[in-house]
Structure 1
Amino acid sequence: MYVLWALLPDECIRRLGIVWYPNREWAVLLPAYSVIIVLLTYFTYFSLALANTPAFSDPMAFIDAKAHIPALDGPDPYRRSNDPNVVPESYDIPIGIVNRVLYGPRKHRE
């Protein structure tokens, strides 16, 4: 019906028995508005995702509230797991240790 209303001349539509219909400019405006609404929806969700993403320097970029970090008091939990008779506890490894293992010790610039 939409395509017939958009393409047929007024005389053909009246012969079909339809005496009232919206202005023809809506045949162009409805699809145009629909495309704009879809694009604005994508832009809005993309903007919200960018706004809620923490900065790279923020620790929340790689640690969340569910992280299981070992307590600092007592012996080092990472060294305790070297004993072959011990089943180590499950911990999230801090990013500093990961970087030292992957990239070596930090080199100071002179």
Structure 2
Amino acid sequence: MEDRHSVNSPRRTLSFSKRRRATGSFLEQDDRASGFGLSGEHGPKPSEVYGFVGSISTVVATVIFFIWAYVPEPWLHAIGISYYPSRHWALAVPAYAMVSIVLALVFYVGLNFMATPPPTSINTIFDDYSRDPMRSVYPEDSDEQPIEPISDIGINTINDLMFNNVQ
């Protein structure tokens, strides 16, 4: 049998490190096994809490909206709810929101079209960062070739490669 503190597999390494950390703990064995100790390492992250509260709030708001929109007025008056917005807004607010989203998308696409140069512009081929590839000053048969800096391949070279070799 092997020594109980030998470390020769990842699983044993993990269990050995857990045992070493657990020896200085003041928690009972049941608390350590359940994971509900007083350690600051465990527990929900703030983003998880905000997500949970946000999802619950969304569900509650949706239920309240549907009750307001679909329950008849005599039923609402019977349970003591007499002040609420007009039912007109139950349809108007979602309709306004959807139209606003569609118009924002159309506006965004339009701005992108306005910022893009036309296809006949020379700016679609060359820009501030386009340059010809650097020619190496080292002989071709040398073992030490430097890595060339990043550069664009010229449109003439591309056209020659694509269209001049057609048979």
* TM-score computed with the length of structure 1 as normaliser: 0.72
Distance in 1 separating the partners of 2:126 and 2:118: 12
**Aligned-residue RMSD, C-alpha:** 2.7
Contact 2:132/2:154, CA 8 A, preserved across alignment: no
Tell me what 2:117 maps to. 54
Contact 1:81/1:88, CA 8 A, preserved across alignment: no
Tell me what 1:29 maps to. 92
Higher RCO, 1 vs 2 (CA within 8 Å, ≥6 residues apart) = 1
Distance in 2 separating the partners of 1:18 and 1:82: 89
**Structure 2 unaligned runs (5+)?**
1-63
* TM-score computed with the length of structure 2 as normaliser: 0.50
1:89 aligns with 2:148: yes
Distance in 1 separating the partners of 2:132 and 2:164: 23
Shift of 1:37: 0.9
Distance in 2 separating the partners of 1:24 and 1:45: 33
Question: How many aligned positions are there?
Answer: 99
Instruction: Label 1:94 to 1:82 Cα distance change in 2 as closer, same or farther (>3 A).
Output: farther
Shift of 1:29: 0.6
Distance in 1 separating the partners of 2:148 and 2:81: 77
* DSSP-derived class of the 1:96 partner: helix
Distance in 1 separating the partners of 2:95 and 2:80: 29
Instruction: Label 1:81 to 1:58 Cα distance change in 2 as closer, same or farther (>3 A).
Output: farther
Shift of 1:100: 1.8
* DSSP-derived class of the 1:77 partner: coil
Distance in 2 separating the partners of 1:57 and 1:102: 21
Contact 2:69/2:90, CA 8 A, preserved across alignment: yes
Match of 2:73 among 10, 23, 46: 10
Instruction: Label 1:88 to 1:24 Cα distance change in 2 as closer, same or farther (>3 A).
Output: closer
